[in-house]
Amino acid sequence: MGVIYISRRYSTASHLCCCGCGREVVTPLNPAKWRLVEKDGKVSLIPSVGNWSFPCQSHYWISGNRVSWAPGMAPEVIAAVQARDRRDAAKHILQRPGLLARISSVAAEIRRQLVDCYRHWRGRW
């Protein structure tokens, strides 16, 4: 406990849950999820870490290598936070430069291959 593993290559940080339950907490580093701040050899994760899917449902901030506990949250508040997180993630994906163009290009290629396959098999019957 007490170690954050940071992968710049995969834009991810992970650590064991600060409550001590032993579960691994993976925090994707991107504008829709978490941001890692390093200052004077200390790290902070922004925003807080809410482990709503864990039995412990721990909620805390990691700031300057220190853990600060957040108060518990009602189930309806957790559901609202999760819904907002899903919206933010979807918006982030759609805002990635060129993503829609790549999706459109792949879809067009799949369609072309399906049409070619159909024509090939139709000619055999």
**pLDDT tens digits, one per residue of 70-120:** 988 888 888 888 888 788 777 766 665 665 666 677 788 888 888 888 777
CB 73 within 8 A of CB 49: no
The pLDDT tens digits of the residues spanning 85-94 come to 788 777 766 6
- What does pLDDT average to over the chain? 85
Mean pLDDT of 38-64: 93
Task: Return the ∠ at Cα 66 (arms to 62 and 68), rounded to 5°.
Answer: 65
- Residue 51 token pair: 């482990």
| pLDDT recorded at residue 105 | 75
| 58 — pLDDT class (breaks 50, 70, 90) | very high
